[in-house]
């Protein structure tokens, strides 16, 4: 699943060293995928088209701040690397769907095609 929005990437470890980031958000896309039993989120920007890959396995998502998801805003806090992915100016419906699917993946539930395959095997 892909989500297009204004995204600001904040490095939380810089605060320990009295450094700051630019805090400037750019038009980016967040994509969620799975390859070889590893779920990940891919953050792609115009400057970095290959993207940054963040694992969703092993409790890497520390917390999701979604109080303002109805306004198109959310923050995803990762443990390793210690980054905050701040999403703004996103379509509220698409953002809620993205966060719901990400929550299922983080909890270990099967989503999408895998769930359909399991259901068809059970019916047979």
Measured distance CA(30)–CA(17) in Å, rounded:
28
Q: Is 23 helix (H, G, I), strand (E, B) or coil?
A: coil
Whether the pLDDT of residue 5 is over 70: the answer is yes
Q: Who's near 89: CB < 8 A, 6+ residues apart?
A: 5, 6, 72
CATH code linked to domain 2-123: 2.30.29.180
Spatial separation of the C-alpha atoms in residues 21 and 4, rounded to whole Å? 22
Judged against a pLDDT cut of 70, whether residue 12 lies above it is answered with: yes
What pTM was estimated for this model as a whole? 0.82
Distance CA 48, CA 44 (A): 6
In which element (H, E) is residue 104 found? helix 92-107
Q: Once rounded to an integer, what is the mean pLDDT over residues 73-91? A: 93
Identify which of 36-40, 71-75, 110-114 has the greatest average pLDDT: 71-75
57 secondary structure, DSSP code: S
Mean per-residue pLDDT, 43-68: 91
């Amino acid at each position: 699943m892909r989500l297009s929005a204004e995204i600001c990437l904040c490095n939380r470890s810089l605060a320990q060293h009295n450094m700051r980031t630019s805090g400037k958000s750019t038009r980016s896309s967040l994509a969620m995928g799975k390859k070889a039993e590893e779920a990940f989120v891919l953050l792609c920007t115009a400057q970095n088209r290959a993207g940054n890959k963040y694992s969703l396995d092993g409790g890497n998502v520390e917390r999701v701040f979604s109080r303002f998801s109805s306004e198109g805003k959310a923050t995803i806090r990762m443990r390793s690397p210690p980054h905050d992915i701040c999403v703004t100016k996103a379509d509220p419906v698409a953002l809620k769907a993205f966060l719901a699917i990400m929550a299922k993946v983080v909890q270990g539930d099967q989503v999408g095609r895998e769930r359909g395959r399991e259901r068809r095997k059970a019916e047979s």
